[in-house]
Amino acid sequence: MADENTEATTYRILMVEDDRLDQMAFKRMVKEQNLRYDYTIAGCVSEAKEILSRENFDIVFVDYLLGDGTAFDILESIADVPTVFATGTGSEELAVKAMKSGASDYLIKDPARNYLKVLPEVIKNAIRHKKAEDELKRYHENLIDLVKERTEQLAEEKELLAVTLSSMGDAVIAVDAENKIILFNKAAEKLTGWKFDEVHLKPIDEVFSIIDEQTKQPVESPIDKVLISRNIESGSDHDALAARFGRQCPISATAAPIRKDDGTMTGIVMVFRDVSQKREIDRMKSDFISSVSHELRTPLTSIKAYTETILYDRNMPEETQREFLRIIDEESDCLADLINGLLDISRMESGNLEIVREPVDVLAVIDCTMSDMRALAQKKKVDLELNVPQQLPELIGDENKIQSMISNLINNAIKFTPENGRVVLSATTTTDRQLVIKVSDTGMGIPTEDLPKIFGRFYRVYRPGKQIQGTGLGLAIVKEIVVRHDGRIEVESELDKGTTFTVWLPLTPQQAPLPVSA
């Protein structure tokens, strides 16, 4: 289409008119007004259609009544070209029909052909209107494409956000300016016990509350703090989530405001996680330090007291002196055992617990261990029994570690067995060449909920009123030794009736040693 805003504009016009006088009048007008029209004249509908099939025009000027049809027949063949109707038998009804059919304008012919005087302006307006329509159409098309592209982008971003939030290990909750929940990921569902569909747009206080882990009293949540400070806020080290169905879970939580570009706060997002394991480890370490301090202080106090007595009592009988030295020797062994246990734990932590594999006389190791443990059993007034065959095959392993394993198991059994109780060590072999060692006692037993945890480093069973001193290292070391020998260990226990630890060790080591167990 030509550009009417340019001085050299030339319009390509198709005139469809069967009256030769009107044709001549149109040509004369174009010439007299020096109009830049590149026009073609058709005398009937069929001729016009044939021309339109091979040429393009900026506008079509068509008489209503033609010899072989009407202007409406021309409209059917015109695609996206402005059209001006002209007729000498005009009526309002015809004009409305023409405009509804797509005509750009409508002119009434008169005998003096004065309608031709306004035709140039009508043509210019029709073309300008058509151009505006085309620009508006292109704008709409671009807008539709832009909206579609942005919608697809938002959908992708929403899907990415949903996948990201779903795969996060931390729980995420977001609330709007009215403190109503608008986001709730899978981890949050797991910790709180609520589903997102159940809490969507509910006030956060109806779903989420934080209490003090020790006092069980409600405390201010990070979301509450953000509402006041308008800044990032964190919870305390004693926060616990009061979840659905009365469940409580220690958590670490941080909340931050959600802001618009202008700084207006539109909501709050909070990230929190289950820190049960961390707090348990902290408690275990605290208990460990307390236990180690006690375990160190007790023998050191005895050693110092007996040493000072020997040094300053010049008249001490030789027999008493030897007894004191024996006690000092025993307490020194206790210190050495504790230090060795700490060193073993340190090596386990660094992955450097060395296992020397060589033939081990298991019966000799058991006899030696039992000999060492009998004095402790007698002191506790616990019967220590041995139930092993006269012969056992050699085990390929680390003799010192095997002895340490058996010693720890027997020591634990004696420690947790009251007077007149019994501890039994038994050993046998299986048809698939495994050595099976069992240590059974008739002691306190282990609560069911503690059984999965007892092999953890520093873990000690909490027994109100019956707490027995220890470092919580013995069973962790036992488990490590067993695993490093390609074996396994199991425990069966019943409160106040006793415990049995069973160890399976392959007599012949596997080709590739197992990795260090946590």
Q: Is residue 152 part of a domain?
A: no
Comparison of pLDDT for 339 and 444, the residue scoring more: 444
Q: Is residue 186 part of a domain?
A: yes
Comparison of pLDDT for 181 and 3, the residue scoring more: 181
Phi-psi region of 216 (alpha: psi -120 to 50; beta: other; left: phi over 0): left
Query: Which H helix or E strand runs over 510?
Result: none
Query: Distances from the Cα of 204 to the Cαs of 175, 254, 275, 417, in angstroms?
Result: 7, 15, 21, 51
Q: Which pLDDT score is estimated for 518?
A: 35
Token readout for 272 is 């929190």
Q: Is residue 458 part of a domain?
A: yes
Mean pLDDT computed over every residue of the chain: 83
Range of lowest pLDDT (21-30, 101-110, 305-314, 395-404) = 101-110
Query: Distances from the Cα of 147 to the Cαs of 226, 233, 517, in angstroms?
Result: 36, 38, 56
List pLDDT tens digits, range 122-155: 888 888 888 888 888 888 888 878 877 777 776 6
Q: Which pLDDT score is estimated for 40?
A: 92
Mean pLDDT to the nearest integer, 43-62: 89
Distance (Å, whole) CA 206 – CA 290: 41
Q: Which pLDDT score is estimated for 514?
A: 41
Burial class (CB in 10 A: 0-12, 13-18, 19+), 158: exposed
Q: Is residue 148 part of a domain?
A: no
Let me know whether 319 and 400 are in one domain. no
Domain count along the chain: 4
Q: Which pLDDT score is estimated for 160?
A: 65
Phi-psi region of 493 (alpha: psi -120 to 50; beta: other; left: phi over 0): beta
Tell me which residue of 138, 127, 129 sits closest to 9, measured CA to CA: 127
CATH for 229: 3.30.450.20
pLDDT exceeds cutoff 50 at 511: no
Let me know whether 401 and 479 are in one domain. yes
pLDDT exceeds cutoff 90 at 385: yes
Q: Is residue 122 part of a domain?
A: yes
pLDDT exceeds cutoff 80 at 371: yes
Say how far residue 428 (Cα) sits from the centre of its chain.
49
Mean pLDDT to the nearest integer, 384-390: 91
Q: Is residue 2 part of a domain?
A: no
Distance (Å, whole) CA 82 – CA 57: 9
Comparison of pLDDT for 13 and 293, the residue scoring more: 13
Let me know whether 314 and 444 are in one domain. no
Q: Which pLDDT score is estimated for 387?
A: 92
Q: Which pLDDT score is estimated for 363?
A: 93
Q: Which pLDDT score is estimated for 516?
A: 41
pLDDT exceeds cutoff 80 at 260: yes
Give residue 413's domain range: 358-506
Let me know whether 84 and 185 are in one domain. no
Query: Distances from the Cα of 383 to the Cαs of 380, 440, 500, in angstroms?
Result: 9, 12, 16
Range of lowest pLDDT (84-88, 340-344, 481-485) = 340-344
Tokens 């160890």, located at residue? 503
Strand partners, 255: 233, 270
CATH for 289: 1.10.287.130
Q: Is residue 145 part of a domain?
A: no
Q: Which pLDDT score is estimated for 103?
A: 82
Q: Which pLDDT score is estimated for 170?
A: 83
Q: Which pLDDT score is estimated for 512?
A: 41
CATH for 467: 3.30.565.10
